Structure 1
Amino acid sequence: MQQIAQLGQAEQTINKSRFVAVAEYCADERTVAMLLRRLAQAHSHAHHLAFAYRVKNPEGQGYILRFHDAGEPSGTAGKPILQYLEGRDLVNACVAVVRYYGGINLGTGGLARAYGGTAKMALDAAKIIPFVEMKTLRLNVDYGRLDGLTREIAKLGGQVLDKAFGQQVTVLASVPDKEAEGLVKRFGA
Protein backbone atom coordinates (compact mmCIF):
# COMPACT_ATOMS: atom_id res chain seq x y z
CA MET A 1 0.00 0.00 0.00
CA GLN A 2 1.07 3.56 -0.70
CA GLN A 3 -0.11 7.04 0.23
CA ILE A 4 0.25 10.56 -1.09
CA ALA A 5 2.78 12.55 0.94
CA GLN A 6 2.60 15.73 -1.15
CA LEU A 7 -0.27 16.67 -3.42
CA GLY A 8 0.05 16.53 -7.17
CA GLN A 9 -1.61 18.77 -9.74
CA ALA A 10 -1.87 18.59 -13.51
CA GLU A 11 -3.62 20.36 -16.33
CA GLN A 12 -4.11 19.65 -20.00
CA THR A 13 -6.30 20.84 -22.86
CA ILE A 14 -7.88 18.31 -25.19
CA ASN A 15 -10.03 19.51 -28.13
CA LYS A 16 -10.61 22.87 -26.42
CA SER A 17 -11.75 21.27 -23.14
CA ARG A 18 -9.54 22.12 -20.19
CA PHE A 19 -8.93 19.38 -17.61
CA VAL A 20 -7.47 20.23 -14.19
CA ALA A 21 -6.60 17.42 -11.76
CA VAL A 22 -5.62 17.32 -8.09
CA ALA A 23 -4.35 14.22 -6.27
CA GLU A 24 -4.35 14.65 -2.50
CA TYR A 25 -4.08 12.68 0.74
CA CYS A 26 -7.45 12.39 2.50
CA ALA A 27 -7.58 10.52 5.81
CA ASP A 28 -11.34 9.89 5.65
CA GLU A 29 -14.55 10.72 3.81
CA ARG A 30 -14.91 13.99 5.71
CA THR A 31 -11.57 15.26 4.33
CA VAL A 32 -12.62 14.09 0.86
CA ALA A 33 -15.78 16.21 1.16
CA MET A 34 -13.71 19.22 2.27
CA LEU A 35 -11.38 18.81 -0.73
CA LEU A 36 -14.30 18.56 -3.15
CA ARG A 37 -16.00 21.65 -1.68
CA ARG A 38 -12.73 23.59 -1.96
CA LEU A 39 -12.32 22.56 -5.61
CA ALA A 40 -15.95 23.33 -6.42
CA GLN A 41 -15.50 26.84 -5.05
CA ALA A 42 -12.16 27.38 -6.80
CA HIS A 43 -13.59 26.15 -10.12
CA SER A 44 -17.15 27.43 -9.81
CA HIS A 45 -17.41 28.05 -13.59
CA ALA A 46 -16.34 24.52 -14.52
CA HIS A 47 -18.84 22.19 -16.14
CA HIS A 48 -17.85 18.94 -14.40
CA LEU A 49 -16.05 17.85 -11.22
CA ALA A 50 -15.42 14.11 -11.45
CA PHE A 51 -13.58 12.28 -8.70
CA ALA A 52 -12.61 8.98 -7.16
CA TYR A 53 -11.31 8.13 -3.72
CA ARG A 54 -10.06 5.14 -1.80
CA VAL A 55 -9.90 5.47 1.99
CA LYS A 56 -9.22 2.91 4.68
CA ASN A 57 -12.40 1.69 6.34
CA PRO A 58 -12.39 3.07 9.92
CA GLU A 59 -14.43 0.09 11.14
CA GLY A 60 -12.02 -2.62 10.12
CA GLN A 61 -10.50 -4.24 7.08
CA GLY A 62 -10.94 -3.07 3.54
CA TYR A 63 -11.49 0.23 1.82
CA ILE A 64 -14.27 2.63 1.03
CA LEU A 65 -14.22 3.15 -2.74
CA ARG A 66 -16.31 5.83 -4.41
CA PHE A 67 -16.29 7.51 -7.79
CA HIS A 68 -18.52 10.04 -9.49
CA ASP A 69 -18.90 10.84 -13.19
CA ALA A 70 -20.28 14.36 -12.54
CA GLY A 71 -22.82 14.28 -15.36
CA GLU A 72 -20.53 12.71 -17.94
CA PRO A 73 -21.68 9.42 -19.56
CA SER A 74 -21.58 6.54 -17.09
CA GLY A 75 -18.12 5.08 -16.56
CA THR A 76 -16.23 7.75 -18.54
CA ALA A 77 -14.89 9.94 -15.72
CA GLY A 78 -14.89 8.56 -12.19
CA LYS A 79 -14.07 4.96 -13.02
CA PRO A 80 -10.93 5.75 -15.10
CA ILE A 81 -9.71 7.90 -12.18
CA LEU A 82 -10.39 5.10 -9.67
CA GLN A 83 -8.45 2.63 -11.81
CA TYR A 84 -5.27 4.68 -11.31
CA LEU A 85 -5.81 4.79 -7.53
CA GLU A 86 -6.24 1.02 -7.42
CA GLY A 87 -3.43 0.37 -9.89
CA ARG A 88 -0.95 2.21 -7.67
CA ASP A 89 -2.44 0.62 -4.54
CA LEU A 90 -3.05 4.05 -3.01
CA VAL A 91 -4.95 4.34 0.24
CA ASN A 92 -6.46 7.45 1.84
CA ALA A 93 -6.26 9.25 -1.47
CA CYS A 94 -8.61 11.29 -3.61
CA VAL A 95 -8.13 12.41 -7.20
CA ALA A 96 -10.50 15.01 -8.61
CA VAL A 97 -10.59 16.19 -12.22
CA VAL A 98 -12.34 19.42 -13.19
CA ARG A 99 -13.48 19.85 -16.79
CA TYR A 100 -14.16 23.13 -18.51
CA TYR A 101 -16.14 22.08 -21.60
CA GLY A 102 -14.67 23.47 -24.81
CA GLY A 103 -17.57 22.86 -27.17
CA ILE A 104 -16.26 19.70 -28.86
CA ASN A 105 -17.63 16.30 -27.83
CA LEU A 106 -14.87 13.81 -27.08
CA GLY A 107 -16.92 10.61 -27.20
CA THR A 108 -16.93 8.02 -24.43
CA GLY A 109 -13.45 6.67 -25.22
CA GLY A 110 -12.02 10.17 -25.49
CA LEU A 111 -13.58 11.20 -22.17
CA ALA A 112 -12.23 8.11 -20.40
CA ARG A 113 -8.74 8.75 -21.79
CA ALA A 114 -8.89 12.46 -20.90
CA TYR A 115 -10.09 11.97 -17.31
CA GLY A 116 -7.84 8.98 -16.68
CA GLY A 117 -4.84 10.61 -18.34
CA THR A 118 -5.18 13.83 -16.38
CA ALA A 119 -5.58 11.85 -13.15
CA LYS A 120 -2.40 9.89 -14.00
CA MET A 121 -0.52 13.16 -14.61
CA ALA A 122 -1.59 14.47 -11.17
CA LEU A 123 -0.51 11.22 -9.50
CA ASP A 124 2.82 11.37 -11.35
CA ALA A 125 3.32 14.89 -9.97
CA ALA A 126 2.45 13.82 -6.40
CA LYS A 127 5.01 12.52 -3.95
CA ILE A 128 4.02 8.96 -3.12
CA ILE A 129 5.44 7.03 -0.16
CA PRO A 130 4.71 3.67 1.48
CA PHE A 131 1.55 3.70 3.63
CA VAL A 132 2.14 3.69 7.38
CA GLU A 133 -0.74 2.84 9.72
CA MET A 134 -0.99 5.65 12.28
CA LYS A 135 -2.38 5.62 15.81
CA THR A 136 -3.54 8.61 17.85
CA LEU A 137 -2.17 8.80 21.40
CA ARG A 138 -2.86 11.08 24.35
CA LEU A 139 0.20 11.37 26.59
CA ASN A 140 0.60 13.30 29.85
CA VAL A 141 4.16 14.45 30.54
CA ASP A 142 5.91 16.81 32.90
CA TYR A 143 7.03 20.12 31.38
CA GLY A 144 10.68 19.03 31.53
CA ARG A 145 10.01 16.01 29.28
CA LEU A 146 7.95 17.88 26.66
CA ASP A 147 10.86 18.70 24.33
CA GLY A 148 12.12 15.12 24.46
CA LEU A 149 8.65 13.80 23.65
CA THR A 150 8.13 16.13 20.68
CA ARG A 151 11.59 15.24 19.30
CA GLU A 152 10.83 11.52 19.70
CA ILE A 153 7.47 11.88 17.93
CA ALA A 154 9.13 13.68 15.00
CA LYS A 155 11.94 11.09 14.86
CA LEU A 156 9.35 8.29 14.61
CA GLY A 157 7.64 10.04 11.69
CA GLY A 158 4.70 11.16 13.80
CA GLN A 159 3.04 14.50 14.33
CA VAL A 160 1.92 16.49 17.38
CA LEU A 161 -1.75 17.28 16.85
CA ASP A 162 -2.46 19.32 19.98
CA LYS A 163 -1.04 20.34 23.36
CA ALA A 164 -2.97 21.28 26.51
CA PHE A 165 -1.11 22.88 29.41
CA GLY A 166 -2.13 22.26 33.02
CA GLN A 167 -0.39 20.52 35.93
CA GLN A 168 1.22 18.46 33.19
CA VAL A 169 1.24 18.83 29.43
CA THR A 170 -1.30 16.66 27.61
CA VAL A 171 -0.02 15.90 24.12
CA LEU A 172 -2.26 14.51 21.40
CA ALA A 173 -0.06 12.89 18.77
CA SER A 174 -0.32 10.71 15.70
CA VAL A 175 2.46 8.12 15.51
CA PRO A 176 3.12 4.98 13.46
CA ASP A 177 1.08 2.15 14.97
CA LYS A 178 4.11 -0.11 15.38
CA GLU A 179 5.90 2.59 17.44
CA ALA A 180 2.95 3.52 19.70
CA GLU A 181 3.49 0.93 22.42
CA GLY A 182 7.18 1.79 22.85
CA LEU A 183 6.42 5.50 23.03
CA VAL A 184 3.80 4.91 25.74
CA LYS A 185 6.29 2.82 27.73
CA ARG A 186 8.92 5.55 27.53
CA PHE A 187 6.67 8.52 28.24
CA GLY A 188 3.54 7.10 29.93
CA ALA A 189 -0.09 7.42 28.94
Structure 2
Amino acid sequence: MTYQTLAKAVTARLEIKKSEFIAYAYPVNNREQAMFHVEQLREKYPDARHHCWAYIIGDPNNTTSAGFDDDGEPNGTAGRPILNVLQHKAIGNIIIIVVRYFGGIKLGAGGLTRAYAGSAQAVVDVMRLTPYVPMTEVKIETDFANESQIRYLVENVGGEVTDVSYSKVVILQVSLAECEVATLDESLGGLGEIIKDHNDEE
Protein backbone atom coordinates (compact mmCIF):
# COMPACT_ATOMS: atom_id res chain seq x y z
CA MET A 1 0.00 0.00 0.00
CA THR A 2 2.04 2.94 -1.24
CA TYR A 3 0.61 6.30 -2.14
CA GLN A 4 1.36 9.98 -1.65
CA THR A 5 0.16 11.96 1.31
CA LEU A 6 0.53 15.53 2.50
CA ALA A 7 3.68 16.40 4.47
CA LYS A 8 2.11 19.44 6.19
CA ALA A 9 -0.92 21.72 5.97
CA VAL A 10 -0.99 24.27 3.13
CA THR A 11 -3.34 26.94 1.79
CA ALA A 12 -4.02 28.78 -1.48
CA ARG A 13 -6.35 31.62 -2.57
CA LEU A 14 -8.16 32.32 -5.83
CA GLU A 15 -10.41 35.19 -6.84
CA ILE A 16 -12.95 34.42 -9.54
CA LYS A 17 -15.46 37.11 -10.61
CA LYS A 18 -15.13 38.86 -7.24
CA SER A 19 -15.80 35.65 -5.28
CA GLU A 20 -12.88 34.67 -3.05
CA PHE A 21 -11.99 30.99 -2.71
CA ILE A 22 -9.60 30.05 0.13
CA ALA A 23 -8.45 26.43 -0.10
CA TYR A 24 -6.91 24.57 2.84
CA ALA A 25 -5.38 21.08 2.79
CA TYR A 26 -4.61 19.06 5.91
CA PRO A 27 -3.12 15.61 6.49
CA VAL A 28 -5.66 13.44 8.36
CA ASN A 29 -5.87 9.82 9.53
CA ASN A 30 -9.62 9.50 10.08
CA ARG A 31 -12.96 11.22 9.47
CA GLU A 32 -13.01 12.74 12.98
CA GLN A 33 -9.77 14.64 12.29
CA ALA A 34 -11.14 15.77 8.93
CA MET A 35 -14.37 17.13 10.47
CA PHE A 36 -12.37 18.86 13.23
CA HIS A 37 -10.61 20.95 10.54
CA VAL A 38 -13.96 21.78 8.89
CA GLU A 39 -15.34 23.04 12.21
CA GLN A 40 -12.18 25.06 12.87
CA LEU A 41 -12.55 26.86 9.55
CA ARG A 42 -16.26 27.49 10.18
CA GLU A 43 -15.20 29.26 13.38
CA LYS A 44 -12.36 31.12 11.66
CA TYR A 45 -14.56 32.31 8.74
CA PRO A 46 -18.07 32.49 10.26
CA ASP A 47 -19.20 35.07 7.68
CA ALA A 48 -18.18 33.00 4.63
CA ARG A 49 -21.03 31.80 2.41
CA HIS A 50 -19.80 28.22 1.99
CA HIS A 51 -17.28 25.77 3.51
CA CYS A 52 -17.08 22.95 0.97
CA TRP A 53 -14.82 19.94 1.39
CA ALA A 54 -13.70 16.49 0.29
CA TYR A 55 -11.48 13.94 1.96
CA ILE A 56 -9.85 10.58 1.26
CA ILE A 57 -8.78 8.36 4.14
CA GLY A 58 -6.36 5.58 3.22
CA ASP A 59 -5.29 4.46 -0.24
CA PRO A 60 -6.81 6.76 -2.91
CA ASN A 61 -6.62 3.97 -5.50
CA ASN A 62 -8.69 1.60 -3.38
CA THR A 63 -10.31 3.71 -0.72
CA THR A 64 -13.19 2.60 1.46
CA SER A 65 -13.43 5.99 3.11
CA ALA A 66 -14.02 9.12 1.04
CA GLY A 67 -16.52 11.90 1.51
CA PHE A 68 -17.50 15.34 0.29
CA ASP A 69 -20.00 18.12 0.99
CA ASP A 70 -21.31 20.96 -1.20
CA ASP A 71 -22.40 22.99 1.88
CA GLY A 72 -25.28 24.71 0.14
CA GLU A 73 -23.74 25.09 -3.32
CA PRO A 74 -25.75 23.47 -6.16
CA ASN A 75 -25.51 19.68 -5.99
CA GLY A 76 -22.29 18.30 -7.46
CA THR A 77 -20.60 21.68 -8.07
CA ALA A 78 -18.23 21.85 -5.07
CA GLY A 79 -17.39 18.75 -3.03
CA ARG A 80 -17.29 16.33 -5.96
CA PRO A 81 -14.88 18.47 -8.09
CA ILE A 82 -12.55 18.75 -5.05
CA LEU A 83 -12.69 14.96 -4.56
CA ASN A 84 -12.02 14.40 -8.26
CA VAL A 85 -8.77 16.39 -8.01
CA LEU A 86 -7.63 14.30 -5.04
CA GLN A 87 -8.48 11.04 -6.82
CA HIS A 88 -6.80 12.14 -10.03
CA LYS A 89 -3.61 13.05 -8.13
CA ALA A 90 -3.84 9.82 -6.05
CA ILE A 91 -3.36 11.59 -2.69
CA GLY A 92 -4.54 9.78 0.45
CA ASN A 93 -5.10 10.67 4.12
CA ILE A 94 -6.05 14.23 3.24
CA ILE A 95 -8.89 16.75 3.38
CA ILE A 96 -9.25 19.85 1.22
CA ILE A 97 -11.66 22.51 2.48
CA VAL A 98 -12.57 25.47 0.26
CA VAL A 99 -14.00 28.55 1.99
CA ARG A 100 -15.99 30.79 -0.37
CA TYR A 101 -16.87 34.44 0.03
CA PHE A 102 -19.57 35.30 -2.53
CA GLY A 103 -18.65 38.37 -4.57
CA GLY A 104 -22.11 39.16 -5.93
CA ILE A 105 -21.67 37.62 -9.39
CA LYS A 106 -23.23 34.20 -9.91
CA LEU A 107 -20.88 31.73 -11.58
CA GLY A 108 -23.42 29.16 -12.76
CA ALA A 109 -23.04 25.40 -12.27
CA GLY A 110 -20.18 25.02 -14.77
CA GLY A 111 -18.37 28.05 -13.39
CA LEU A 112 -18.70 26.79 -9.82
CA THR A 113 -17.42 23.33 -10.76
CA ARG A 114 -14.37 24.89 -12.44
CA ALA A 115 -13.83 27.29 -9.51
CA TYR A 116 -13.84 24.55 -6.86
CA ALA A 117 -11.71 22.20 -8.98
CA GLY A 118 -9.34 25.11 -9.66
CA SER A 119 -9.14 25.94 -5.95
CA ALA A 120 -8.34 22.32 -5.11
CA GLN A 121 -5.72 22.23 -7.88
CA ALA A 122 -4.18 25.49 -6.61
CA VAL A 123 -3.65 24.03 -3.15
CA VAL A 124 -2.36 20.74 -4.62
CA ASP A 125 0.21 22.78 -6.58
CA VAL A 126 1.78 24.12 -3.37
CA MET A 127 1.74 20.78 -1.51
CA ARG A 128 4.83 18.92 -0.49
CA LEU A 129 3.90 15.26 -0.90
CA THR A 130 5.57 12.37 0.84
CA PRO A 131 5.14 8.59 0.41
CA TYR A 132 2.69 7.20 2.95
CA VAL A 133 4.33 4.73 5.31
CA PRO A 134 2.05 2.59 7.52
CA MET A 135 3.19 3.03 11.13
CA THR A 136 2.76 0.75 14.12
CA GLU A 137 3.50 0.73 17.86
CA VAL A 138 5.49 -2.00 19.59
CA LYS A 139 6.77 -2.50 23.13
CA ILE A 140 10.27 -3.71 23.86
CA GLU A 141 11.18 -5.28 27.17
CA THR A 142 14.79 -4.99 28.28
CA ASP A 143 16.93 -4.38 31.37
CA PHE A 144 18.49 -1.12 32.50
CA ALA A 145 21.94 -1.93 31.14
CA ASN A 146 20.68 -2.30 27.57
CA GLU A 147 18.30 0.66 27.36
CA SER A 148 20.66 3.07 25.60
CA GLN A 149 21.76 0.40 23.10
CA ILE A 150 18.13 -0.37 22.26
CA ARG A 151 17.37 3.34 21.79
CA TYR A 152 20.22 3.42 19.30
CA LEU A 153 18.81 0.38 17.42
CA VAL A 154 15.34 1.99 17.33
CA GLU A 155 16.77 5.19 15.82
CA ASN A 156 18.69 3.06 13.33
CA VAL A 157 15.45 1.84 11.74
CA GLY A 158 13.84 5.31 11.80
CA GLY A 159 11.74 4.56 14.88
CA GLU A 160 10.98 6.78 17.87
CA VAL A 161 10.70 5.94 21.56
CA THR A 162 7.37 7.49 22.61
CA ASP A 163 7.15 6.25 26.21
CA VAL A 164 9.22 4.36 28.80
CA SER A 165 8.16 2.63 32.00
CA TYR A 166 10.56 1.42 34.66
CA SER A 167 9.88 -1.40 37.11
CA LYS A 168 11.94 -4.56 37.50
CA VAL A 169 12.51 -4.25 33.76
CA VAL A 170 12.46 -1.38 31.27
CA ILE A 171 9.58 -1.28 28.76
CA LEU A 172 10.01 1.05 25.81
CA GLN A 173 7.02 2.04 23.70
CA VAL A 174 8.24 2.51 20.13
CA SER A 175 6.58 3.98 17.03
CA LEU A 176 8.04 2.81 13.72
CA ALA A 177 7.20 1.83 10.15
CA GLU A 178 5.43 -1.55 9.96
CA CYS A 179 7.99 -2.77 7.43
CA GLU A 180 10.83 -2.19 9.93
CA VAL A 181 9.46 -4.32 12.81
CA ALA A 182 11.15 -7.53 11.62
CA THR A 183 14.46 -5.72 11.07
CA LEU A 184 14.33 -4.24 14.58
CA ASP A 185 13.38 -7.61 16.09
CA GLU A 186 16.38 -9.22 14.41
CA SER A 187 18.81 -6.48 15.46
CA LEU A 188 17.78 -6.73 19.13
CA GLY A 189 19.54 -10.08 19.45
CA GLY A 190 19.61 -10.90 23.15
CA LEU A 191 19.35 -7.25 24.28
CA GLY A 192 15.58 -7.24 24.60
CA GLU A 193 12.42 -8.59 23.06
CA ILE A 194 9.33 -7.21 21.37
CA ILE A 195 6.23 -7.93 23.46
CA LYS A 196 3.23 -9.05 21.44
CA ASP A 197 0.47 -7.08 23.14
CA HIS A 198 -2.66 -7.24 20.95
CA ASN A 199 -4.74 -5.27 23.43
CA ASP A 200 -2.81 -2.14 22.51
CA GLU A 201 -3.59 -2.36 18.82
CA GLU A 202 -6.24 -0.02 17.49
Q: Does TM-score exceed 0.5, indicating one fold?
A: yes
Q: Which residue in 2 is equivalent to 1:73?
A: 74
SS at match of 1:173: strand
1:135-154 alignment to 2 at 5 Å?
A: 135-143=136-144, 145-150=146-151, 152-154=153-155
SS at match of 1:3: strand
Pair 1:102-2:103 in alignment: yes
Contact 2:68 2:83 in 1 (8 A): yes
Unaligned runs of 5+ in 2: 195-202
Rate the CA distance shift 1:125–1:111 in 2: closer, same or farther, 3 A: same
Among 22, 29, 37, the residue aligned to 1:27? 29
- CA drift at 1:25: 0.9
Q: Which residue in 1 is equivalent to 2:130?
A: 129
SS at match of 1:72: coil
Pair 1:9-2:11 in alignment: yes
- CA drift at 1:19: 0.7
2-structure distance, mates of 1:143, 1:37: 46
Q: Which residue in 2 is equivalent to 1:43?
A: 45
- CA drift at 1:62: 3.6
2-structure distance, mates of 1:4, 1:146: 34
Q: How many residues align?
A: 185
- CA drift at 1:149: 4.6
2-structure distance, mates of 1:145, 1:46: 57
Contact 1:8 1:124 in 2 (8 A): no
Percent identity at matched positions?
31
141-150 or 64-73, which moves further after superposition? 141-150
Unaligned runs of 5+ in 1: none
Q: Which residue in 1 is equivalent to 2:200?
A: none
1-structure distance, mates of 2:13, 2:75: 23
1:80-91 alignment to 2 at 5 Å?
A: 80-91=81-92
Q: Which residue in 2 is equivalent to 1:166?
A: 166
TM-score by length of 1: 0.85
- CA drift at 1:104: 1.3
2-structure distance, mates of 1:9, 1:34: 17
Q: Which residue in 1 is equivalent to 2:179?
A: 178
2-structure distance, mates of 1:128, 1:90: 8
2-structure distance, mates of 1:38, 1:50: 13
1-structure distance, mates of 2:99, 2:152: 41
- CA drift at 1:172: 3.4
2-structure distance, mates of 1:38, 1:151: 40
Contact 1:84 1:120 in 2 (8 A): yes
SS at match of 2:7: strand
TM-score by length of 2: 0.80
Rate the CA distance shift 1:151–1:49 in 2: closer, same or farther, 3 A: farther
